[in-house]
């Protein structure tokens, strides 16, 4: 069991940084070990967890030896191999998190208070964002935290349209005549950006949920909210990583 000497202990108990990185990938084959702006994709998530001031351990759940090697090179732990039946395209994230918690409890008698889920597909997230998100959740005391990005006004649900019997209506069947005419009239809406999920362990294990009843939001800038699913996403993330200049963003 390892922890950074720079980490501050959370008053709520230990925090687990969990990076979920399976070997299979259809959109971009082997993407978790492909070099993005000079290093394997999985290492961005690992380094965020290792550099966090609050996370006690950063563990990678993977079924792939190459991913495990890359994770260890970035300072993360790989104490177990993810079972094959939990490494499919349709495997729920909840099942992967439960497996990790059950393994740690059974083999090491270690039970974190919170799980910080760091998906490799969001490489523009930094340790600064992770720590800020942790501090927000601990301050407000929610069941969980989800990182989000604001929806641009031109994609706002109040401006989305459907076709009913060949005629345009607002999304949900409302008449087009009632559509807001100015963006200033639109209330902010958000989408999950896939960068950070933080959940209390008891919510995961007892409620079988990654959200609970009171999920709070951590808003990130839209330009940092690239979630890699396609080659186009990959090129965008690589360009934005290459353009970074400040030490905080490079953490």
Contacts of 171 by beta carbon, 8 Å cutoff, 6+ apart: 157, 158, 160, 161, 162
Structure tokens at 79: 């104490």
Phi, psi (5° rounding) for residue 148? -140, 165
Averaged pLDDT, 17-37:
91
Percent over 90 (pLDDT), the chain: 72
CATH superfamily of 15-150+191-241: Spore Coat Polysaccharide Biosynthesis Protein SpsA; Chain A (3.90.550.10)
Q: Which residues pair with 181 in a beta bridge?
A: none
C-alpha to C-alpha distance for 20 and 29, rounded to whole angstroms: 16
> What is the H or E stretch that residue 43 is in?
helix 41-51
> What is the H or E stretch that residue 117 is in?
strand 114-118
Q: What is the pLDDT of residue 6?
A: 57
C-alpha to C-alpha distance for 149 and 192, rounded to whole angstroms: 6
Check if the beta carbon of residue 71 is closer than 8 Å to that of residue 62.
yes
C-alpha to C-alpha distance for 209 and 189, rounded to whole angstroms: 23
Averaged pLDDT, 185-213:
95
pLDDT in tens, 121-153: 999 999 999 999 999 999 999 999 999 999 887
Higher-pLDDT residue of 12 and 119 is: 119
Give the pairing of strands 39-40 and 161-164.
Answer: unpaired
DSSP state of 73: H
Say yes or no to pLDDT of 26 above 80.
Answer: no
Domain limits, the chain? 15-150+191-241, 152-187
């Amino acid at each position: 069991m390892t922890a950074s000497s720079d980490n501050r202990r959370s008053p709520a108990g230990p925090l687990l940084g969990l990076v979920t990185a399976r070997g299979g990938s259809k959109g971009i084959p082997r993407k978790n070990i492909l070099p993005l702006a000079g290093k394997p994709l999985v290492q961005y998530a690992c380094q965020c967890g290792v550099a966090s001031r609050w996370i006690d351990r950063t563990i990678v759940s993977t079924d792939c030896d190459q991913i495990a090697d890359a994770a260890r090179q970035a300072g993360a732990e790989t104490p177990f191999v993810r079972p094959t039946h939990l490494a499919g395209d349709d495997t729920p994230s909840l099942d992967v998190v439960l497996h990790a918690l059950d393994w740690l409890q059974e083999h090491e008698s270690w039970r974190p208070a919170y799980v910080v889920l760091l998906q490799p597909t969001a490489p523009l997230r930094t340790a600064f964002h992770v720590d800020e998100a942790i501090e927000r959740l601990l301050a407000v005391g929610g069941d969980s935290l989800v990182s989000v990005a604001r929806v641009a006004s031109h994609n706002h649900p109040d401006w989305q349209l459907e076709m009913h019997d060949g005629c345009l209506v607002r999304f949900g069947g409302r008449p087009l005549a009632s559509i807001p005419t100015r963006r200033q009239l639109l209330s902010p809406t958000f989408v999950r950006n896939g960068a950070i999920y933080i959940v209390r362990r008891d919510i995961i294990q007892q409620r079988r949920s990654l959200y609970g009843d009171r999920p709070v939001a951590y808003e990130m800038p839209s330009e940092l909210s690239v979630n890699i699913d396609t080659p186009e996403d990959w090129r965008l993330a690589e360009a934005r990583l290459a353009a970074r200049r400040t030490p905080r963003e490079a953490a």
